[in-house]
Amino acid sequence: MKKNSDVFSLFKHFLGRIKTRFGKSIKALHFDKGGEYTSIEFKEFCKDHGLMQQFTQTNSHHQNNVVEWRNWTLIE
């Protein structure tokens, strides 16, 4: 990913791959409060697809590190 603004389009692609490749659906997403995850477009997409958004608390570096580690593990 070259820019944070690419997150939404990449996430839609990722969601489709999960459904196609594994026949599974994502039920919840755990994010830090980065602007790329809090856009109206992203929130509406999650609402329309029944995805629950969970956000870490502000200035909670421990929680953010856990999210980053899990995301990296999923990508690998």
Helix (H) or strand (E) holding 55: strand 52-55
The hierarchical CATH code for the domain 4-75 is 3.30.420.10
pTM of the model: 0.63
Q: Of 66, 67, 4, give the one whose Cα is nearest residue 35.
A: 4
- The answer to whether residues 31 and 67 touch, using CB atoms and an 8 Å cutoff, is yes
- The answer to whether residues 36 and 5 touch, using CB atoms and an 8 Å cutoff, is yes
Handedness of CA 55, 59, 62, 67 (dihedral sign): positive
Give the residue, 38 or 60, on which the prediction is more confident. 38
pLDDT in tens, 32-44: 776 777 788 988 9
pLDDT of 40 reads 87
Q: Residue 75 pLDDT more than 80?
A: no
